[in-house]
Amino acid sequence: MKHEVSLERPAVSAYTVPADAPEADATFAWDTTTVIVVEITAGDATGTGWTYAPTAAATVVDEQLTPAIRGLDALDIPAAHDAMTKAVRDAGRPGVAACAISAVDIALWDLKARLLELPLVRLLGAARDEVPVYGSGGFTTYHDTHLAAQLNGWVHGQHIPRVKIKVGEGWGRAAARDVSRVRTARDVIGPQAELYVDANGGYTRKQAVRVGRVLAEYGVGWFEEPVSSDDLPGLAQVRDALVCDVTAGGYGYDLPYFGRMIPSVDCLQVDATRCGGLTEWLRAAALAQAHGLEVSAHRAPHAHAAAAACVPNLRHIEWSHDHVRIESMFFDGALDPTGGVVRPGCGIGHGLQLRTDEVAEFRVV
């Protein structure tokens, strides 16, 4: 390998995948998911990254990020990340642009590891061999039979000892059904498994406190976004009123966001496919550790697995049903969560290879 290996023009594609059943949380419903895939070549290696975002993210990669990084040294990821961040300053970094940066950054880390012929977890330096996961799904559109089957598969089939379901249906207008679904979930998983809920910001402050106290009777220990993640005083108010951990951070698009959120949560959630890739994910994890908090990887489990193994203050990664399904369809090398952990490190890079031909039917860009 030469001393300097220059980045070529990234190749970007977008795919829209139908859900296996209608999905919804407290505030939004969907029946398809769009994934943006970025492939970057330098020398004789190619790295792959992705994000879950509108097709506009692909345009950002082509028009704004490519001119900023093309020709840079593939080993100097901080320089490329900084160049991308500066390139979208006028367009605005939060949102679609941050997702685009995330996909490119994940590809850059995969590329660097492949150039050095190392597993990504070895390049970063492991803190653990196994990464805990929690099963995540339980959409509000699921009837009880569907919910029970999904939870049963995780807890009793794959022996994942922690699971999460959606609550807050209809912007908090179906609290009685929320409680009923939590009761069903506890009956299915038994008394030993950990039970989490995610309200996606659907409740008001006092409503979240009232519901949270009822859910405590069913052993709910994790209450994600009980109120909007933009309502930091509200998150702190709910956190201080409840015994369970109150968590948020999945909508963080830059490091200052996490700095503002840390005083309001018990565990910081960080999404590498939104926040600026693994570069910013690792920075956010360090920021959380400096304040005595653990981090949990939000969605896109295969994008996080290697980096998650490399931070000492990790709690777990989200084994999200919709993203696991897509990543298992799209990539060779998908991980096995049986036993409640995954073990990244097989093969070079992040260990995944895009099945280009097999997923061509879903391509839209």
pLDDT value for 346: 86
Residue pLDDT, tens place only, 125-134: 999 999 999 9
Structure tokens at 350: 């992040």
pTM of structure: 0.97
Q: How many CB atoms lie within 10 A of CB 86?
A: 11
Phi, psi angles (nearest 5°) of residue 75: -85, -15
pLDDT confidence tier of residue 1, bands split at 50, 70 and 90: very low
Q: Are strands 341-342 and 131-136 parallel, antiparallel or unpaired?
A: antiparallel
The candidate with the shortest Cα–Cα distance to 152, out of 123, 184, 180, 174, is: 184
Residue 2, pLDDT > 80, answer no
Are 196 and 162 in contact, with CB atoms under 8 Å apart? yes
Please give the mean pLDDT across all residues of the chain: 97
Return the pLDDT at 249.
98
Distance CA 317, CA 279 (A): 17
> What is the spatial distance between Cα 190 and Cα 163, in angstroms, rounded to a whole number?
11
CB 250 within 8 A of CB 265: no
Q: How far, CA to CA in Å, does 6 sit from each of 75, 87, 105?
A: 9, 19, 15
Q: Which tens digit of pLDDT belongs to each residue from 148-200?
A: 999 999 999 999 999 999 999 999 999 999 999 999 999 999 999 999 999 99
CA–CA distance, 220 with 244 (Å, rounded to integer): 7
Candidates 87, 110, 95, 107; CA nearest to 11 is 107
What average pLDDT score do residues 28-39 get? 98
Nearest-angstrom CA–CA distance, 315 and 287? 15
Which residue is associated with the tokens 């929690």? 134
Under 8 Å between Cβ of 66 and 104: no
